[in-house]
Structure 1
């Protein structure tokens, strides 16, 4: 499934883009043509999305400036009022110099705050996606002026100041209303904080040959149902409940049972045929208000927990939500993995291995999903350095497991180096119990035999869209009830009705 859509939803780095351009040149397209195509894509986008307005193109000194000269020339030829402000006077590349000649060296204006403030549309052609150094004091002033203006701002490739490889802001960045990039989105378009500076991102073709894209091995992807939807196992007429997955959840003690309850109800809603909660005797009554579909297993000690998960029909286990950092939580993980049960290891079940992370890494594999937020991640991977992408990739490699590094830009990483970036989560997900719901959705899909990596990506997306559907005022309980709506939208629309009908 991933192979079919890897090109469409692949995400690249600035270096990848540089390599694409070099390969295109070797196959016959000139670098000047690539620059002209990029500039034309931006000018066409502006003409399509905005009415004729006073445009100011602000150019730096790299190829991004060359793209800006093309934008200005094309808009002028379409009778738009255009000015070009050159802010970094230096020696240009041959292609950028050629595009400046076409615009006209005598038709440049110098930096002026008044010119910036009087523009209706500003095209940011200062720096491209390859910027990896902080802005100097003058460029900081220019960026500050752009951000203080009332103009609509369109950035070429990436807003100046955003690192295309990491999404980091070097020391300041242009706040764009939209960004026009080329071939594929860059990591910087999807990861915070860069993501919030990009506005709406348009991806345009600049003539890169299809063979280059088709033969490229993508390691990064933007989360989308087309990547994983056909891997979701829908019920058919021959299904019975245990064929649809038997999920087991370890509950916390009295006062901490709601986490397990949210996870259990989420696992049911996502399609797990049977969901059982293991809890001590005094907690059994805590679940009387839960969904009647839940099975409650008395589990006062590790022996009784083992008895429940030893059932050969048990297909996946969740440990951690509300469990507490204690010996029982630790032993539940150990025993579940002794039985080789696919596991979702969340919250306290991660933190309990803070002082013995290698013990955990020795018993987990690609059938296990770790779901840490940043704090939990640092507890078991304290020595990892680098940006967010590098750290999560290394964590998956070290542990051998699927890692879900939770946040507004959640990353799902596989031990083989693939990373899916989830860019659709709303800020309303920052609410108590939200992570328990996510753990339950992951568990439910894992129990049904969904590929652990792609199933986890599906869970993260469904979790995010459920929250977006509800809007403001969201609490974790609301997410559980919206899971069926998201599933029905995915699988009962016109495009998928035939697929569902064939499976029923």
Structure 2
């Protein structure tokens, strides 16, 4: 954002003009959502406060009763210019904030310290009534690069930011404090970034739709490794998900003692037995993708099976037990991974492979990026704000996460979705992004009462919508 501002100013757009555009954009968003009513604009000393003075002036010009409360006098030239153009009532921030429409222009995304004094008291007051709060750029108290408040912070019902979302808008707990997020175009030029919000615009143009001449072999061959007889359901969930997402041929590779239970539950998914890691390697020799980990067991057998699959040409999707089994020697796993392999840990599994990394990183984006670089593979770090990172630094944050996915087996379905897309020729980073988004959309289609078995059957409705939008 700093680079975009600097480039616009270097190209001849003044900081005052950018502030006018920003403040007017916030006023427009407010007028589109609220009827005219008493409004209290809380202005800080920096350029975020300068935006606040512009908002106050524009709203007053449109007939709104507006008052400004200032934390301190403006400290930047642009903010002083905006303050000079505001001729309405201004009072110190100190004192009780009446329950009107509050416009939080105290501090923006560049905040690097906890709120204190009157600013902290005002933030706590606004957090009591987020539906009455409009935040400028980010709710005050949230650092824009992490979304992790180190003290009091505002909770808003509407946040208007500029040019592009910041990490605080997509990472929890910041995202939950922003309410509705509006990204206003204030005329800044395009800026390159390897960090994006996950959505169809990222990968839909390269989604592997079948053509009129497609056949099942052309649509990809996926295998899923089953656990022992008493823990086979997770592998079947992955296999069904891979088939539903479009893989042409899906096979569950099963220990002999689990053949009967798997056979009793499989139809279009095929079944094949293997006993040793060598037999598994041979069975996977001609497939495109192998999923291993769902209920595989944290055993030496699972470890050897992963290493056997790594010796084939198949891309690997490693989940659950196939991650945990390497907790004593993560480097053994990293040494056999390729850049088209995908790891899908939840935070606990992430800690087992990358001890201390999540706690030491400033936020989940940095942690996932460092993990992907260390493993030399795609890393999908699960959570309400799932992060997908590639070894080359590309990173996407998934913002459509659904609370209905908090159910046993949903991660097994996600692994199958990823495997099915990679099997069809989709690049692994984009496949992981697409799978995470489709997974969450499918959960929202069902809503309350969702169980993991529902998810594969919900995917076609999401795919139909994507197909129509392509």
Q: Which residue of 2 aligns with 1:10?
A: none
Deviation at 1:383, TM superposition (A): 3.9
Query: Secondary structure in 2 aligned to 1:242?
Result: coil
SS of equivalent residue, structure 1 residue 439: helix
Corresponding position: 1:118 with 2:102: no
Map 1:267-282 → 2, pairs under 5 A? 267-282=242-257
Contact residue 94 and residue 118 of structure 2 kept, 8 A: no
Q: Deviations over 1:103-157 (max 9, x none)?
A: 13x721233554x2331x1100011001121111432211111122476211000
- What's 1:11 paired with? none
Matched position secondary structure for 1:484: helix
Native 8 Å contact 2:327 2:352 kept in 1: yes
Match of 1:207 among 187, 206, 217: 187
Change (3 A) 1:64 1:307: same
Counterpart in 2 of 1:321? 294
Question: Cα 1:291–1:486, aligned 2, differ >3 Å: closer, same or farther?
Answer: farther
- What displacement does 1:235 show? 1.7
Q: Specify which of 108, 111, 119 is matched with residue 90 of structure 2.
A: 108
Q: Which residue, 439, 443, 465 being the options, matches 2:419?
A: 443
Task: Say whether 1:265 aligns with 2:240.
Answer: yes
Q: What runs of 5+ residues in structure 1 fail to find an aligned partner?
A: 1-16, 497-504
Deviation readout 1:258-306 (Å, 9 max, x if unpaired) = 1001001000100111111111222112223434111111122223212
**Distance verdict in 2 for CA 1:149–1:285, change over 3 Å:** same
State the alpha-carbon separation in 2 of the partners of residues 111 and 148 from structure 1. Answer: 17
**TM-aligned CA deviation for residue 466 of structure 1:** 0.2
Match of 2:217 in 1: 242
1:89 is the counterpart of 2:68: no
How far the C-alpha of 1:90 sits from its partner, in A, is 4.3
Runs of 4+ with deviation above 4 angstroms: none
Cα offsets for 1:436-486 (capped at 9, x unmatched): 000000011111111111111000000010001111111101111101111
User: How big is each residue's C-alpha offset from its partner over 1:410-456, in whole Å with a ceiling of 9 and x where there is no partner?
Assistant: 00001111101000011111110000000000011111111111111
Deviations along 1:211-261, whole A, 9 cap, x unmatched? Answer: xx1xx3211111111211121222223222111111111111122101001
The number of residues matched between the two structures is 467
Aligned match of 2:364: 388
> Does the Cα contact within 8 Å between 1:432 and 1:475 map onto a contact in 2?
yes
In the alignment, structure 1 residue 405 sits paired with structure 2 residue 381: yes
Q: Which has the higher contact order (CA 8 A, sep 6+)?
A: 1
Moved more, 235-244 or 37-46: 235-244
Aligned-residue Cα RMSD (Å) equals 1.4
Distance 2:302 2:98 in 1: 60
Q: Distance in 2 between matches of 1:281 and 1:207?
A: 64
Q: Give the TM-score, by structure 2 length.
A: 0.97
CA contact (8 A) 1:122 1:151 kept: no
Q: Quote the offset at 1:400 in angstroms.
A: 0.7
Q: Distance in 1 between the 2:81 and 2:422 partners?
A: 56
Partner of 2:316: 343
